[in-house]
Amino acid sequence: MSDSQAAPQVAGPFPLSTLRHSVSHLMASAVAKLFPGVQFGFGPAIEHGFYYDFDVAQPFSDEDLKAIEKEMRRIAKTAPKLVCVEVDREVAKQRLAAKGQSYKVEAIDLIPVGEKITFYQHADWEDLCEGPHIDHFGRDFHFKLLNVAGAYWRGDEKRPQMKRVYGTAFWSFEELEKHLRWLEEVKERDHRVVGKQLRLFHIDEMVGQGLVLWTPHGSIIRGELQAFISEELRRQGYHQVYTPHIGKLDLYKTSGHFPYYKESQFPAIVEADALAKLSDEGCSCAELTSRLDGVSAHFASTLNARTGREVVGKDKVLPDEKLVDGYLLKPMNCPHHIRIYASSPHSYRDLPVRLAEFGTVYRWEQSGESGGVTRVRGFPQDDAHLFVREDQVAQELLGCLSLVKLVFGTLGMHDYRVRVSLRDPDGAKYVGSPENWDKAEEACRAAARTLGVPWEEVPGEAAFYGPKIDFIVRDVIGRSWQLGTVQVDYNGPIRFDLTYTGADNHKHRPVMIHRAPFGSMERFVGVLIEHFGGRFPFWLSPVQVALIPIREDHAPYCVELEALLKAEGFRVDAMLEPSHMNNKIKEAQKQRVPFMLVAGEREAAERTVTVRRRDTREQETVPFEQFLALARRLRDGRGLDLGPAPASATKPQG
Ligand SMILES: [Zn+2]
Ligand SMILES: [Zn+2]
């Protein structure tokens, strides 16, 4: 699920991407031989390999892939050259049409008129392609076909669905092996797989795609994370707020979220009575839509005057009797927080006002990633809005970033970088004065510097209303994830006419900082699942301790320990069912439970436990109190590993 996967890239006699694309030709030639009548789509090199799209009657089986690989090897053995031939456009079309290759005929039309049409030939196969390729297949290279997926021709779901065969290729066998091991690791850590094994979340067709159900185990992780972040926010002087999941359309028309970002939102909600009245009047759906989008002349002129620009066009203005009121599932938490700020007067001494909420927002994602938590339609963000004086922007950005540093550090994510998006020096579209922008941009740079990690400036990437800071984390197997953002905003306070009273007794405009450094909780937990491969630190583990009696008659001692641990708030699974101890140990390991406490006659008599950690075979018998002290320390200190093995000096004798 990562945004970018960092597999090793090594240069060969030709760039790796050239080799990989050439191998896609090799694959196509093998498929042509084995599956007569197949139609060919495109076959480019991609980040870690290549693919080719085929239109075949039967989907490819694993056996088919093996047969294709074998045929590829056979063809490669003859070391055919890749020969380029230029062909007249019409001739090329006729040639492909004669072979029944309708996708390829269409592909010719995609090549701009005037450009050369070239075929690359090897053995008795040719493919429409502009190159480049390697010179011949007699070179030493190594490849593997990986999997098959469905893909629409030209990505259009109205066009036929083809079978996309993915593969990869390297110049050396060692690199290929290394890459395949890496892919295994990626697969093992996949949050969809681990999420199912550990019962962390559930996506239910009956509830809806992209709507995540947090099951009890996943809720523990989310709850612990939220508690951790909230604790830190309280320390930094934030106030917790709660706001509803919907708001009136006028709120979002004022903020600018509606109707301008309509395509990424759920449609507006209209009250039943109003809807009945509109339907009596014979209002069509199209008319309803434009009436929902509309504003009064007063609304338009007020907002346009406030912002000094035409943010609401004349085309949106409707007579009052035409306006229809509605509600929106909130696409952002900011407007609600803004109204909390606006609900009372503020003096310069009250600022900054910092409002935090794990607020759920709703976005209309065209197609949810199936079974995953990265493209979701409703998700809580670790959101907060800071209303600050201009002279406080720098200090507050530092605060935001110190939280990021703490959270990443606690989770063992030390490999991350920061992207600071600045305005386009030649652009004129920006809200706020250039001097303020200079100050805010410098504040972003200064804050980024304090993290002590690599950071880059990206001019021209800022939003029109302010600069921003993004975080990109690399996980333990080298993949990059874009998480949340910290953003300076001059525009929101203008649109909502926010003020505070300055020391001069005049009204001043605050600046807003939006910050959700970890993004959505779904995505963040998804990243953590893969980062830890399900082996969460003790404080985050859904089950922290498994109690395993050696024999059934040792159960009473385990029940006693369970009560003691639960009384201290630890999450315990007493595995008392009648099955063999070894099966229970296996099951606890499968569930990645950090500690297994095995107890038999001797342990009960001496009030000890035999401690076994998740990933080791070693075990050690220690007084129960000693284990308890370790558990408290790991929980309260939010320790990353499972602590030192209990000191053997205190090992009970006898
Ligand atoms: Zn090619
Ligand atoms: Zn916001």
Nearest bound ligand to the CA of residue 463: 2
Query: Which pLDDT belongs to residue 6?
Result: 47
Q: Which residues surround ligand 2, an ion (CB under 5 A)?
A: 334, 514
Instruction: Locate 346 and state its tokens.
Output: 């503020």
Which position has the token pair 């850590």? 189
Residue-level length of the chain? 654
Q: Which fold has domain 16-183?
A: Threonyl-tRNA Synthetase; Chain A, domain 2 (3.30.980)
Backbone CA torsion sign across 394, 396, 397, 398:
positive
Q: In this structure, are residues 128 and 104 in contact, taking their beta carbons and an 8 Å threshold?
A: yes
Torsion of Cα atoms, 81 then 84 then 90 then 96, to 10°: 30
Instruction: Tell me the CA–centroid distance for residue 93 and ligand 1, in Å.
Output: 17
Quote the ligand 1 centre to 126 CA distance (angstroms): 10
Ligand closest to Cα of 332 equals 2
**How, if at all, do strands 468-474 and 416-422 pair?**
antiparallel
Residues 6+ apart with CB under 8 A from 368: 203, 209, 210, 375, 376, 377
Q: 259 preceded by cis ω (within 30°)?
A: yes
Residue 398 buriedness (CB in 10 A; 0-12 / 13-18 / 19+): middle
Tell how far the Cα of 120 is from the centroid of ligand 1, in angstroms. 7
Token pair belonging to 288: 């309803």
| Closest ligand relative to 83 C-alpha | 1
- Give the pLDDT confidence score for residue 12 in this predicted structure: 53
CA of 355 to the centre of ligand 1 (A): 55
Ligand located closest to 330 CA: 2
Q: Quick one: which ligand is closest to 383's CA?
A: 2
pLDDT the model gives residue 62: 93
**What's the gap in Å between 243 CA and the centre of ligand 2?**
13
Q: Which residues pair with 596 in a beta bridge?
A: 546, 612
Closest CA to 136 of 71, 74, 83, 73: 83
CB within 8 Å of 134: residues ≥ 6 apart:
13, 14, 18, 19, 22, 82, 141
Neighbouring residues of 650: CB distance < 8 A, sequence distance ≥ 6: 622, 623, 626
DSSP tally for the chain: helices H, then strands E = 20, 28
Q: Which residues of the chain have pLDDT under 70?
A: 1-12, 367-372, 374, 644-654
CB atoms within 10 A of CB 445: 18
Within 274-351, strands assigned E span 327-329
Q: Residue 418 in contact with residue 391, Cβ under 8 Å? A: no
Q: Which CATH number is correct for 190-241+348-532, 3.30.1360.30, 2.20.28.10, 3.30.930.10, 3.40.50.150?
A: 3.30.930.10
Is residue 164 within 8 Å of 51, Cβ to Cβ?
A: yes
The neighbour count for residue 83, using CB atoms within 10 Å, is 13
Q: Output the CA 133–ligand 1 centroid distance in Å.
A: 6
Say how far apart CA 522 and CA 88 lie, in whole Å. 53
Q: At what angle do helices 62-77 and 16-34 cross, to 10 degrees?
A: 110
Which helix (H) or strand (E) covers residue 546, if one does? strand 545-549
User: What is the CA(513)–ligand 2 centre distance, in A?
Assistant: 8
Ligand nearest 514 Cα, by number? 2
For residue 329, the cross-strand partners are 246
Cα 482 to ligand 2 centre (Å): 18
pTM for this predicted structure: 0.81
Alpha carbon of 377 to ligand 2 centroid (Å): 17
Residue 22 CA to ligand 1 centre (angstroms): 6
Provide the H-helix boundaries in 343-462. Answer: 393-410, 434-450
The 3-state DSSP class for residue 53 equals strand
Name the 3-class secondary structure at 218.
helix
CB atoms within 10 A of CB 500: 21
195 half-sphere exposure, CB direction, 13 A CA radius: 26
Give the distance (Å) from ligand 2 centre to CA of residue 467: 13
Span 271-287, pLDDT tens digits: 999 999 999 989 898 89
335 CA → ligand 2 middle, Å:
8
Nearest to 588 by CA among 541, 623, 526, 531: 541
Which ranges in 411-520 belong to alpha helices (H)?
Answer: 434-450, 491-495
Spatial contact of 508 and 348, defined as CB atoms under 8 Å apart: yes
Q: What angle do CA 207, 211, 217 make, to 5 degrees?
A: 95
Q: How far is the CA of 43 from the centre of ligand 1 (A)?
A: 7
Same fold, 16-183 and 545-636: no
What local confidence, expressed as pLDDT, does residue 643 receive? Answer: 75
How confident is the model at residue 371, as a pLDDT?
A: 58
CB within 8 Å of 204: residues ≥ 6 apart: 211, 213
What does the alpha-carbon distance between residue 448 and residue 421 come to, in Å, rounded to a whole number? 11
**How many A from CA of 255 to the centre of ligand 2?**
10
Considering every ligand atom shown, identify the ligand nearest to the alpha carbon of residue 128 and give its number: 1
DSSP three-state, residue 445: helix
pLDDT for the residue numbered 436: 81
* Closest listed ligand to the CA of 336: 2
Confidence at residue 8, expressed as pLDDT on a 0 to 100 scale: 40
Pair 475, 411: CB distance under 8 Å: no
CA of 118 to the centre of ligand 1 (A): 10
Contact status, residue 254 vs residue 495, Cβ threshold 8 Å: yes
Containing H/E element for 170?
Answer: strand 161-170
Ligand 2 center–CA 332 separation, angstroms: 6
Residue 4 makes CB contacts below 8 A (sequence gap 6+) with 47, 479, 480
Catalytic residues: 334, 363, 381, 383, 385, 468, 514
How much distance in Å is there from the Cα of 382 to the middle of ligand 2? 10
The helix or strand, by DSSP H or E, that contains position 471, with its residue range, turns out to be: strand 468-474
> Among residues 253, 363, 244, which one has the least CA distance to residue 298?
253
Q: How far lies 398's CA from each of 257, 395, 407, 484, in Å?
A: 28, 5, 14, 16
**Inter-residue contact 609 to 599 (CB < 8 Å):** yes
571 and 220 Cβ atoms separated by less than 8 Å:
yes
In our burial notation (b when 16+ CB lie closer than 10 A, e otherwise), range 542-560 reads bbbbbbbbbeeebbebbeb
**Which residue has tokens 């209209």?**
270
Beta strand 619-623 pairing with 416-422: unpaired
**What is the spatial distance between Cα 124 and Cα 37, in angstroms, rounded to a whole number?**
16
Tokens found for residue 449: 């510097």
Nearest ligand, measured from the Cα of 20: 1
Alpha-carbon torsion, ordered 580, 585, 586, 591, to 10 deg: 130
Q: What is the pLDDT of residue 504?
A: 95
Q: Cα separation of 615 and 619, whole Å?
A: 11
CA distance 57 to 39: 10
Neighbours of 170 (CB within 10 A): 26
Residue 590, burial from CB neighbour count under 10 angstroms (0-12, 13-18, 19+): exposed
Domains of the chain, by residue range, sit at 16-183, 190-241+348-532, 545-636
Alpha carbons 400 and 433: distance in angstroms, whole number: 24
**Fold for the domain defined by 545-636:** Rossmann fold (3.40.50)
